[in-house]
Structure 1
Amino acid sequence: MKVLDDILSFFALETLDTRLFPPSDLVKRESIKKKVNPKSRWGTLEFKIYLLVFAVFVPLLYKTAMDASNETNPNYPRYERLLSPGWMFGRKVDNSDSQYRFFRDNFPLLVGLIVIHVTLRRVVSPLLGLTKRTQFDFGFGLVFLFGAHGFNVFKVFIHLGINYAIGKYIKSHKVAYYATWIYGISSLFLNDRYRSFKFGVNFVDYGFKGIIERWDVFYNFTLLRMLSFNLDYLERKQALYDSKKEIKEDKLVGLDDRQRLSAPFDIGEYSLFNYVAYLTYTPLFIAGPILTFNDYLYQSNYETLASVKNHKRTFVYGVRFLFCVLVMEFLLHFIYVVAVSKAKAWTGDTPFQISMIGLFNLNIIWLKLLIPWRMFRLWALIDGIDPPENMIRCMDNNYSALAFWRAWHRSFNRFIVRYIYVPMGGGGQNRILNSLLVFSFVAIWHDIELKLLLWGWLVVLFLLPEITATLYFQKYSGKWWFRYLCSVGAVLNIWMMMIANLFGFCLGKDGTTLLLREIFETFDGIKFFVVSSAVLFAATQVMFEMRNSERRKGIDVRC
């Protein structure tokens, strides 16, 4: 049993991030425990049947995905050209996704950069007598930025300068607030149109362009930090104006995660120096996770968090990261669904096979984002900064569209909630409109593409049934059948989420249309839909109980 306990502990939420610990407030912790039946269902006959379903169908999912994408499939010649020589068991590897290929091919370079960065901080800071972490971050960040983008840094600094000027020099709080958002969103469109803009100076226009010439690809994450700095500064400035007095720095000790978001800094801390240090903080520059300016400044100059001092936690987190890398390598060597979707090579496949092409594509998308994010967060942890964990649930461990977005890119979700959703009124009377605007921003932020904007609106459309059903049926939560009714709704949710994401990120319009036609216009498709829905029903019951197990420990992450 100890081995099983160690395995469960290794994959537990608490292993990822101390922000996912039970609340320190005992009253709040006990209120979470009261929401759930204290008796576990894992040992009941019902759940033994569910686990048996898992034991039969999970291997079948892998086999079907392999049948739909490997050498034995008649469509293999159509996508074989997209495969590359691999290193695992003599297999080829599906390295056709350009985004993950960039990370995978540059993995040794990133490891080297981590070693150099962490070593230099420990050597240079004492030698130069640097008293604040931001001093090293400022210098190293500028050097890294030039190495990454070369003379394209001038284009980045134009945006940084305009954003800083908006926040600092527009006197009206309201005008500065709206100008920050208008310019921030407009800059995405400007980059899409004018990213190759020439300055008319030869050594700038045609000189060194850095390791990453496409500077605009990573600008999206820089934009979030730009917005965070301005909005945190404007909030602090307004708070000081309202209170008419400064708050002493002795209150900047022992702040928790939420308190750090609005930490009472001296207004002078919102300086150009700290702004540049924050924006160019190397471990989080390329892809995050997103750490707000206030949180970064607090951890850099005021207090090293206990989670960072616990080196065992960081080591376990690193082992878990390596485990995810190996899982990804296994999938890319044995299941070539990315290449299949790029070649649209699913002619003659069964509805089950097409759905598995889509499902494993979504899992690979999840992993290709999770792995870089965890590597960069691991880098920050080793360096002494603790950003939020971005992925706290496996992609397949989701049944609610609302909860899904709280667990997927969690630091971005926290950013959206803090800076957009709550200021707009949150879940009040305009909840749907607020959600529509939020997902419109999310879609535009990802890419200036109509398909993704439609995806964002489709997600909001699929939120409506869940929101409506939750409001209506909540009064029956004490009934014995409520848990099963929730599973029926969860199954419908999963289908809708899969369709939305398959359309937006995997199969596109053609593949998704074909899948729906195969499912609902053929006998085999209908049979597949019924069996799949029954399996999903069992899966959702297991998901419910997993979350109940967390609540029995006082943990409720609402996803």
Structure 2
Amino acid sequence: MINILEFFSLDTLDTRLTNNNNKNQLKSSSTPRWNTIEFKFYYLIFIIVVPLMFKTAMDASNETNPNYPRFQHLLSNGWLFGRKVDNSDSQYSFFRNNFKMLIILLISHTSIRKLTTNIFTKRTYFDFIFGIIFLFAIHGVNCIKLSIHLIINYAIGRITNYKIAIWLTWIYGISTLFLNDWYGNFSLGFLDNSFKGIIIRWDVFYNFTLLRMISFNLDYIERKRNLENMDKVESLIDLSDRERLIAPLPIEEYSIFNYISYLFYVPLFIAGPIITFNDYIYQSNYQQCKTVTNYNRIFIYFLRFLFCILTMEFILHYMYVVAVSKTKAWNNDTPFQISMLGMFNLNIIWLKLLIPWRLFRLWSLIDGIDPPENMIRCMDNNYSALAFWRAWHRSFNRWVIRYIYIPMGGSGTGKTRLLNSLLVFSFVAIWHDIELKLLMWGWLIVIFLIPELSAKLYFKKFEKDWWFRYVCGLGAVINIWMMMIANLIGFCLGTDGILILLNDLFKTMQGFQFLIISSGCLFVASQVMFELRENERRKGIDVRC
């Protein structure tokens, strides 16, 4: 029987999160607060408020709402209790509509791998062959367009001058994002009438391929520099997760053959999670992680994945918030209703990314490769902008830290930290899409980091005082509001919806009352979140998010 707390624990998701070498040093000696009168009051608030949030989101988006006729056409026939389903999000509907095909591909790929184990002396041989076949199946002759980028990037990495190679890798990589957006559909002449694959838009998955292209070049350049500096050849046995990032692989491993195998590794090709070239080659050809041989752990991970799918299906069948957002059908809704439309929209965004990522990671685990878990916190279990981005798309976050943030100087001074964060979020925004709205979103995130960083520096000296936790709670409330506003502008309500919400919050009595009450609820939630983190530290776990 699976313990419910263990089922939802960090350890179930990824052993990287809980395998700390210095657990004793990390352990907190604080006394648990779960049975105090204060927290019993918080439980009462949760029992009342959380069901009310669900009900309000349903009232604002269901057939009983006067705005229903405006978004009714976006709904489809569902399978839960005769309900309609909101399958209007194009990104998730693509995954949802092709889910059966992905499962068939997963079973076929892993089965063929098992059957051919004795034929291929190295795992990468199989990945190379299957990857090329898979790529042609989904992109057809458009593989030629993708191949042009791959060859140019590989050639750049071979430039003798390290600095020039690094700069050109970045310049060309970022330029391709713009080139694909502007000219990605250029003609191939007589080949245009040939087979273009299951997915004609070859550039849809290119952004993830780009991360792997850059990883290969930078890992190769780093290894070549270490060899020329007479770096000692270390053992390739029992390397930790962090050590695999800079694994002292033989220089011969950085071949075009392994380059192609890595770029087109099928389980992670479509959307990741991102694994660095060094880590992929180490796990493929040297030593597999213990996680991929622990079938009980993989099965529990599968159950977590199944739970997330059913949660998403429930929301899509009972809260048509995506359709409301697309049609801006929130006329005469209360501030509470508009805010819940936005909040559950953000939850759907979180789930629509989490579910494919967990499927692809599950596929990779079954296949014998352990990539990082991308989503380690529920979207609603966040109170810090800094911590939020450490937990959201974690493999991409680790990639950014390794290849951008640390090379640019890391946290350093406060000024350096902000400049580096601005650079990071600018790249993240451009990488997501060539759109001014997302660039503005990236800059807003950095601006919203300033109060948090400033408050941390000033209040750190008071962390032993009894009132420190409550001041942090007030800061958390402000943080949550700012994060919600930034993400609602970028991904849900847009500027029109957010201006209506802000106008209602500050210019109407009903809105102002909601602002005060909701801020009080966020304060309660922040105290529970603090205690959840503290409970992890008592076990020697600190994931800094």
Mapping for residues 284-295 of structure 1, pairs under 5 Å? 284-295=268-279
- The answer to whether the 8 Å contact 1:308/1:381 transfers is yes
**Which of residues 160, 167, 185 in structure 1 aligns to 2:150?**
160
Q: Deviations over 1:221-257 (max 9, x none)?
A: 00000000001001111111112x5615xx0000000
Alpha-carbon deviation of 1:343?
A: 0.3
**Which of residues 64, 82, 86 in structure 2 aligns to 1:90?**
82
User: Structure 1 unaligned runs (5+)?
Assistant: none
Q: Deviations over 1:26-50 (max 9, x none)?
A: xx212211xx343211011111111
Match of 2:225? Answer: 238
What is the distance in 1 between the residues matched to 2:270 and 2:276? 15
- The answer to whether the 8 Å contact 1:389/1:411 transfers is yes
- The answer to whether the 8 Å contact 1:246/1:266 transfers is no
Match of 2:24? Answer: 30
Match of 1:18? Answer: 15
The sequence identity of aligned pairs, in percent, is: 66
**Which of residues 508, 519, 522 in structure 1 aligns to 2:508?**
522
What is the distance in 1 between the residues matched to 2:502 and 2:224? 53
- The answer to whether the 8 Å contact 1:443/1:455 transfers is yes
SS in 2 for 1:125: coil
The TM-score, its normalising length taken from structure 1, stands at: 0.96
What is the distance in 1 between the residues matched to 2:355 and 2:410? 31
User: Structure 2 unaligned runs (5+)?
Assistant: none
Match of 1:262? Answer: 246
What is the distance in 2 between the residues matched to 1:316 and 1:282? 23
Count residues in correspondence.
Answer: 543
Segment drifting more, 521-530 vs 205-214: 205-214
Match of 1:179? Answer: 168
Mapping for residues 159-558 of structure 1, pairs under 5 Å? 159-168=149-158, 170-200=159-189, 202=190, 204-243=191-230, 247=233, 251-429=235-413, 430-558=416-544
- The answer to whether the 8 Å contact 1:361/1:506 transfers is yes
Cα 1:31–1:246 change in 2 (3 A) is closer
What residue identity is the alignment partner of 1:391? M
2:54 is equivalent to residue 62 of structure 1: yes
What is the distance in 1 between the residues matched to 2:173 and 2:153? 8
- The answer to whether the 8 Å contact 1:22/1:554 transfers is no
What residue identity is the alignment partner of 2:16? R
What is the distance in 2 between the residues matched to 1:483 and 1:317? 34
Alpha-carbon deviation of 1:207?
A: 1.1
SS in 1 for 2:116: helix
What is the distance in 2 between the residues matched to 1:400 and 1:30? 26
What residue identity is the alignment partner of 1:411? S
Match of 2:141? Answer: 151
Alpha-carbon deviation of 1:378?
A: 0.2
What is the distance in 2 between the residues matched to 1:195 and 1:207? 17
SS in 2 for 1:131: coil
Q: Deviations over 1:513-542 (max 9, x none)?
A: 111111111000000000000000000000
What residue identity is the alignment partner of 1:227? I
Match of 2:110? Answer: 118
What is the distance in 1 between the residues matched to 2:114 and 2:4? 34
What is the distance in 2 between the residues matched to 1:167 and 1:153? 21
What residue identity is the alignment partner of 1:532? S
What is the distance in 2 between the residues matched to 1:194 and 1:553? 53
Q: Deviations over 1:145-194 (max 9, x none)?
A: 000111100011000000000001x1100000000000000000000011
What is the distance in 2 between the residues matched to 1:50 and 1:420? 41
Alpha-carbon deviation of 1:52?
A: 1.1
Match of 2:44? Answer: 52
What is the distance in 1 between the residues matched to 2:117 and 2:300? 28
Q: Deviations over 1:110-160 (max 9, x none)?
A: 00000110011111232xx21110000000000000001111000110000
What residue identity is the alignment partner of 2:103? V
- The answer to whether the 8 Å contact 1:416/1:438 transfers is yes
What is the distance in 2 between the residues matched to 1:56 and 1:196? 53
What is the distance in 1 between the residues matched to 2:218 and 2:283? 19
What is the distance in 2 between the residues matched to 1:467 and 1:206? 56
Alpha-carbon deviation of 1:94?
A: 0.1
- The answer to whether the 8 Å contact 1:229/1:275 transfers is yes
What residue identity is the alignment partner of 1:198? S
